[in-house]
Chains A and B, each alone.
Chain A
Amino acid sequence: DAMVIQNPRYQVTQFGKPVTLSCSQTLNHNVMYWYQQKSSQAPKLLFHYYDKDFNNEADTPDNFQSRRPNTSFCFLDIRSPGLGDAAMYLCATSRGPGTSGYEQYFGPGTRLTVT
């Protein structure tokens, strides 16, 4: 089945130790998104790629970076995780703008714990 896959599902990292979360998709969608979601809150968009074009949200801290080496994969790098970065990180994809391109398909998320 076509899907959005996130690895790992649970990640524990130490304060200040760089960590990378990964996302892959078999949907061949043009757009890939990274969201941060804290408890009892809506997902907060960090950035997205439209093909190779990177689009950062204005309030995303520099501590968060992303890479998209090809259509299928996208990575979230947290350079120096702080305790406040503990959250669920969601990857999503969409076809892109168009008559049927708005729906975003979400992965299961990676729960990040910072110790």
Chain B
Amino acid sequence: GESVGLHLPTLSVQEGDNSIINCAYSNSASDYFIWYKQESGKGPQFIIDIRSNMDKRQGQRVTVLLNKTVKHLSLQIAATQPGDSAVYFCADTEAAGNKLTFGGGTRVLVKP
């Protein structure tokens, strides 16, 4: 991911609607990609991951899409709920890498 500065982009979504969060990464050698959810005052929590040999992976209410051609990652949340309100970070690493490179984060606000 790419750190984009001090201002977090915000996605405001109506409860029940689908959310799409986007992330650009810069390292063409990145092999593993992960999405984290961070609620206020807590540590990041794993949501879903994907390897570079896949372009789509689904979890419970979440789908991650990977487009290696344009180095783009997205997280789709189906039927967004109030508990989904948080900051979402993408991160990536190379094969055999120990370190994650975090993107700048997107704040999701769910409106009742």
Min CB distance A5 to B, Å, is: 11
The residues in A between 23 and 41 inclusive whose CB is less than 8 angstroms from any CB of B are: 31, 40-41
Q: Which of B3, B43, B49, B97 contacts A109 (CB 8 A)?
A: B43
Q: Is the CB of A106 within 8 A of B43?
A: yes
Asked if A86 is an interface residue, CB under 8 A from chain B, the answer is no
Q: Which of B95, B100, B104 contacts A104 (CB 8 A)?
A: B100
Asked if A22 is an interface residue, CB under 8 A from chain B, the answer is no
Q: Which of B1, B43, B46, B98 contacts A96 (CB 8 A)?
A: B98
Q: Assuming the A-B contacts A103-B46, A107-B43, A109-B42, are A42 and B97 also in contact, with contact meaning beta carbons closer than 8 angstroms in the complex? A: no
Residue of A nearest to B33 (CB): A102
B interface, by DSSP: helix, strand, loop or mixed? loop
Min CB distance B98 to A, Å, is: 6
**Complexed CA–CA distance, A92 and B93 (Å):** 15
**Complexed CA–CA distance, A98 and B96 (Å):** 6
The residues in B between 13 and 66 inclusive whose CB is less than 8 angstroms from any CB of A are: 32, 34, 36, 41-46, 49
Q: Is the CB of B46 within 8 A of A102?
A: no
Asked if A115 is an interface residue, CB under 8 A from chain B, the answer is no
The residues in B between 49 and 95 inclusive whose CB is less than 8 angstroms from any CB of A are: 49, 89, 93, 95
Q: B: which residues have CB within 8 A of A? A: 1, 3, 6-8, 32, 34, 36, 41-46, 49, 89, 93, 95-100, 102-105
A-B contact pairs, 11 of them (CB 8 A): A31-B98, A40-B105, A41-B104, A42-B103, A43-B102, A45-B99, A90-B43, A97-B98, A102-B97, A102-B100, A107-B43
Q: A: which residues have CB within 8 A of B? A: 4, 6, 31, 40-43, 45, 48, 50, 55, 90, 92, 94, 96-97, 102-109, 111
Q: A94-B98, A105-B46 are in contact. List 17 more A-B contacts (CB 8 A).
A: A41-B104, A42-B1, A42-B3, A42-B105, A43-B102, A92-B43, A96-B98, A97-B98, A102-B32, A102-B97, A103-B34, A103-B46, A103-B49, A107-B43, A108-B42, A108-B43, A109-B43
